[in-house]
Amino acid sequence: MKIAGDARDETISAIATATGAGAVGIVRVSGRNALEVLRGCFLGLPELVRSHHLYYGRVVHPATGELLDEAMAVLMRSPRSFTGEDVVELQTHGGSLNLKRVLEATLSGGARLAEAGEFSLRAFLNGRLDLTQAEAVADLIVSETEQALRAAQSQLGGGLRRPIGVLRQALLDLLTLMEACLDFAEEEHVLQASADEITQQLEAVLAKLEAMQRAHGAGRLRLGGTTVVLVGAPNVGKSSLFNCLLGYDRAIVTETPGTTRDVLEGTITLSSQRVHVADTAGLRESVDPVEKLGIERSLEEVINADIVCHVIDATQREGLSPLARADAIVVINKVDALSTEEVEAEPRSRRQRRSLSEEVQRGLGDASLTVVTASARTGEGLAWLEHVIAERAAGLQYQSPDDVPLLTNIRHVAAITDAVEALSRARHALETNLPLELSAADVREAAEALGRIVGVIVSDDVLNEIFSRFCVGK
């Protein structure tokens, strides 16, 4: 993407709404010639076009005069627009073909097709957004859960920019103090008093940055979702439960043990939380090289999972194998297959479910285990299993203090990590009485790392990488 001034002088245009059928679609134009482009393809404008006022008219092709659509048009004068430039939006009838024809009219009228993320890039370059807010726009668009949406809205509102700005300014103030110490290096009493203050200020900033690092896990869970792995012996009904949780047949289900030989994944939403569910190969001793590989992958999934559901067969409760993980949720599947001597008529009573759970807890030697009785065939207990998973996922969310922003972007995490490492080196240099110049260099490096987050210090390559992930029209 071109970032130089010549490219920013060009007027750009793109479809701003999602493709496909819809009642209304929007074509956006931004740049110094936005109004001229509008006048060339829109009939119905007065001589004096007022900013932020809607005008009704007809969209025509500038070259042929062909009537394309009836529409509403609005001009947003610089700097009171998303990009900080003159912006025009044409609100037309929806539909991919119709919007494409209107877009072509704006291009024929002097605009060029915008690149992915170019509107947001211009908003950043013109000071309408800092880099964290621009990235929040992208997160907002792809949010699939309420947690992700709230995190993006907070960041868009300055929830990361403000605290990072405060910490960066604190480091710049600290650098000023350190430079003053260097200027008065021969006055020992001044140097000692300042050294104590330097250490105190450095520790305060470092503590807040480390708190942000601890909160990063919450960002991953909130935006990326919680991983839930179904594990257990062959033919206990893991694939059937997997299909039931997804609501459709994703895994092949047969009576033959060992049918699942690779990890199958699907995503669901439970209580506004994004949950990635994985079905795995049955755990057993096997000489089949393909099945052995599948079992190895199953064990890897167990290690990396946020939540493990260890599935057992209700009809085979004797000699239970140890759980794949100590904190697993135990799911007793196939309760519908129990003999009439063991259970009464459907639905199973609370007493019967509790009896089954206690029996399994005794068999596994842990009365504190979370146990759910279920039947993938009849659907019994599945709502409760979903509730238990949702509760466990909610409990994994790290509750960060109100003054600690949630890091949800790997670029931000990397910059915070760089800053923490630099300040840790600076602290060590102070503690071991190394030359103050070394500590000052590390503090300066930390300040630059924080500057990269909000875009105070950023290269064109980084900007291209960030904004190229946006959709065209944003």
pLDDT in tens, 263-306: 788 888 888 788 898 888 776 666 566 666 766 777 787 888 88
The pair of three-digit structure tokens given for residue 338, joined into one six-digit string: 């129990």
Q: What is the DSSP letter of 351?
A: H
Name the residue type at position 234: P
How many contiguous H segments (helices) and E segments (strands) does the chain have?
15, 13
Q: Residue 345's pLDDT is what?
A: 47
Tell me the β-bridge partners of 266.
277
Helix (H, G, I), strand (E, B) or coil at 221: helix
Is 413 within 8 Å of 452 (Cβ atoms)?
Answer: no
Q: Residue 445's pLDDT is what?
A: 95
CA 134 and chain centroid, separation: 14
Contacts 24+ apart (CB under 8 A), 52-56: 52/76, 52/77, 52/80
Is 468 within 8 Å of 117 (Cβ atoms)?
Answer: yes
The pair of three-digit structure tokens given for residue 248, joined into one six-digit string: 């459709």
Q: Residue 343's pLDDT is what?
A: 47
Q: CB-hemisphere CA count at 13 Å for 46?
A: 9
Query: For residues 268 and 276, what is the distance between their CA atoms, to the nearest angstrom?
Result: 6
Q: Residue 200, Cβ neighbours under 10 Å: how many?
A: 10
Is 50 within 8 Å of 89 (Cβ atoms)?
Answer: no
Query: For residues 422 and 425, what is the distance between their CA atoms, to the nearest angstrom?
Result: 5
Q: Residue 325's pLDDT is what?
A: 83
CA 314 and chain centroid, separation: 38
The pair of three-digit structure tokens given for residue 273, joined into one six-digit string: 């939380």
- Show the low-confidence residues of the chain (pLDDT under 50): 341-346
Domain ranges of the chain: 5-130, 154-222+401-454, 229-377
Q: Residue 339's pLDDT is what?
A: 55
Q: Which residues contact 433 (CB under 8 A, 6 or more apart)?
A: none
Which overall architecture, per CATH, does domain 154-222+401-454 show?
Up-down Bundle (1.20)
Q: Which residues contact 59 (CB under 8 A, 6 or more apart)?
A: 41, 42, 67, 68, 69, 70, 71, 90, 92, 102, 105
The pair of three-digit structure tokens given for residue 235, joined into one six-digit string: 């033919």
Which overall architecture, per CATH, does domain 5-130 show?
2-Layer Sandwich (3.30)
Question: If one looks up domain 229-377 in CATH, what number appears?
Answer: 3.40.50.300
